[in-house]
Copies of this chain bind each other. A is one copy, B any other.
Amino acid sequence: MARAATTSDAFNAIAEPRRREILVLLRGSERPVTDLARDLGMTQPQASKHLRVLREVGLVRVRESGKQRLYGLDARGLRPVHEWVGGFERFWSESFGRLDEYVQELKQTRQEEPDDDDDQ
């Protein structure tokens, strides 16, 4: 088995840096493919392919406008991602950067004051 399809998930879709760039650009306004390609310094086929992925996961919509096709952001699919990652917020807050020292402190405190306590 290979890696899960990029189109299987918002998680997988946004794993690609270029696709993330596209989404950021689309935050500003609807845009045709050529525009995006130029602004991001990639070829038009590249942009088209990435947009296809984004469309398949529903992060992007297309709207025909005469000769052009305007791509627009549909960020709703990002919400589950935000929520999932948000579930870890308390783990990077709480001065988590110095967890090791914190553990050391705890140990010392225990030795000084032999209260009985259980960790959860």
Query: Interface of A with B (CB < 8 Å)?
Result: 3-4, 6, 9, 11-12, 14-17, 20, 23-24, 27-29, 72-76, 78-79, 81-82, 84-89, 91-92, 96-97, 99, 119-120
Known interface pairs A6-B3, A15-B11, A28-B120. Does A88 touch B96 (Cβ–Cβ under 8 Å)?
no
- A73-B88, A76-B92, A82-B82 known; 12 new pairs, CB 8 Å cut-off, are A3-B16, A9-B17, A15-B15, A23-B88, A24-B87, A27-B88, A74-B99, A78-B88, A81-B81, A81-B85, A82-B85, A82-B89
In the bound complex, CA of A89 to CA of B101 (Å): 35
Which B residues lie within 8 Å of A29 (CB)?
Answer: 119
How many protomers of this protein does the assembly include?
2
* B78 and A85 contacting across the interface, CB-CB below 8 Å: yes
Which residue of chain B is the closest to A3 with respect to CB atoms?
B3
In the bound complex, CA of A12 to CA of B6 (Å): 11
8 contacts between A and B (CB under 8 A): A3-B6, A11-B14, A14-B85, A23-B88, A24-B87, A78-B92, A79-B92, A85-B85
